[in-house]
Amino acid sequence: MYPDTNKVLGLLMRKDRMEPSERSSVLFCYFAQWFTDSFLRKHPLDPRRTTSNHEIDLCQIYGLDEPSTWALREGSDGRLKIRIMNGEEYPPLLYKDGNLDTQFFDDKAEVGLSFLRAGRAPLWEKAVNEQSDNALTKPDRRDYFYASGLDRAGSTVAYSAFNIIFLREHNRIAKLISEGEPSWDDDRIFETARLVNIRQILSVVVNDYIRHIAGVFPFELETGFAESQPWYRTNRISIEFNLLYRWHSLIPEELELEDGCNINFKDYRFNNKLLEEVGIESLISAASAQKAGCYGLFNTPSFMKEAELGGLKWARMFGVQPFNRYRERFGLDAYYSFDALTGGNRDVTNALKAVYSDVNDVEFTIGLLAEGRGEGELMPETVTRMVAYDAFTHILTNPLLASEIHTPATFSKVGWDIIQESATLEQIVKRNVQRPNAVTVSLAV
Ligand code: HEM
């Protein structure tokens, strides 16, 4: 018998002020959301299904399937469609004269983006409106929606900023490849540039993102060694991975812009006009300078209540096992008392006791957040271990890193050279903005 969901939500929600993270910036929070959105994807209509392709494939800018990709491609020189503003590339707009642009959506033909095709457009519009005070009824919001690969594009201004950066990076790589391989057609240039771009994001994820989470270990993406490991097989995203990755306690109530203005949650969501006014450089710098929330209980902002409730019910619907059972499955000792679980944190222990009668009943997602942690650790032991298992078996089994594929023949001579250069998030951002010296890119603060 599960405890009442309202009681459990009481363990999650922020009370008055945000408990700040010791070392993560809001950019880390935004990057985590943008990055994981490409593979943690519950089907919006059927909770038993996923829309995930299971791989890290930059579907945020390429779409989830062939028709989506075609809708986003320019059709020449291997490029993605763009719109030029002030001399810079931006994604094309999703709406034209108040309606979905037919190049991205045509219900009669099998054309367009996956989340709009086959009668899904009204459902997508309803879902966006529900989360955004009816953004799609307001021209200063709707007319700035970008056409991108996924349904949650634009869900924060930073999500849009990352999409813009990696769109520009694709077209930059495509140009270099077309110059290096003048006889190649659009298709070959496009597919090769896409592979190079995906290969780069794999480096960023390990060398910037995982390294930040791990803290002390100098992780470096290595190719070749995973193939001889017993876990080397095609990755499948599990329900547990989706649940453990809902790091909503990192979300701040407000984004503090460089000019001192504070932008609240409603204004930093589905608001590309704001992004264009503030500028990518300034937005990324502001998010790099502000502290994210600390991973843990009692730190999820109130506006995420519905999303949290959805996750809780989803886990129960599938009979996801309690936290202690996952500890054992991952080779860790089950906790024998609430106090042991929370590392002796009296407040958290008492709060858990008020909701669960036995430590073995503590639900998976709650235990992950409630667990005590060591000095300087970003996250507690169990979630860190599970993220590490999942992340490495996910990243290192990516087909692009297999010895036979990870060669100049796959990426082209030019693409291979690009891959050999280091590609940090900071370098990729800086080479795709007009004022590289005006931007600070940091997952740590
Ligand atoms: C930055 C602000 C964020 C906002 C506005 C946000 C918003 C949301 C919303 C509304 C949902 C529910 C979607 C649904 O049920 O249809 C959701 C789900 C989710 N969020 Fe967040 N989130 C944010 C940050 C994060 C972060 C930092 C992470 C951690 C990486 C994260 C991971 C997830 C995951 C894994 C799901 C489940 C997705 C699915 O299965 O489709 N989110 N988020």
Taking the domains of the chain in order of start, what are their residue ranges?
5-20+241-249+294-393, 22-235+257-292+403-438
- 354 CB less than 6 Å from ligand 1? no
Backbone angles phi, psi at 180, to 5 degrees: -75, -25
At 34-83, the pLDDT tens digits run: 999 999 999 988 999 999 999 999 999 999 999 999 999 999 999 999 99
* Mean pLDDT estimate for the chain: 95
Q: Which of 14, 246, 266 to mutate to test the pocket of ligand 1 (most atoms within 8 A of CB)?
A: 246
Please report the pLDDT score of residue 422 as a whole number: 76
Instruction: State the pLDDT at residue 71.
Output: 97
Closest CA to 405 of 234, 199, 174, 197: 199
Q: With a 6 A CB cut-off, is 287 part of the ligand 1 pocket?
A: no
Could you identify the residue written with the tokens 């997602």?
Answer: 365
Tell me the whole-structure pTM to 2 decimals: 0.97
Say yes or no: CB of residue 307 within 6 Å of ligand 1. yes
H/E element, 162: helix 157-180
Nearest CA to ligand 1 atom 14: 307
Q: Is 40 in the pocket of ligand 1 (CB under 6 A)?
A: yes
Residue that is written with structure tokens 């299904």 in the block: 49
pLDDT at residue 218 greater than cutoff 70: no
The CA angle 381-238-391, to the nearest 5 degrees, is 50
Span from the CA of 247 to the centroid of ligand 1 (angstroms): 8
CB of 51 shorter than 6 A to ligand 1: no
Smallest CA separation from ligand 1 atom 10, residue: 307
Strand partners, 89: 84
Residue 216 has pLDDT above 70, yes or no: no
Are 299 and 251 in contact, with CB atoms under 8 Å apart? Answer: no
Number of C-beta neighbours around residue 305 at 10 A: 15
Task: Compute the C-alpha angle 258/22/28, nearest 5°.
Answer: 55
Instruction: Look at the domain 22-235+257-292+403-438 and name its fold.
Output: Myeloperoxidase, subunit C (1.10.640)
Q: Is residue 393 lining ligand 1, measured as CB closer than 6 Å? A: no
For residue 269, pLDDT over 90 is answered with: yes
Is 246 a pocket residue for ligand 1 (Cβ < 6 Å)? yes
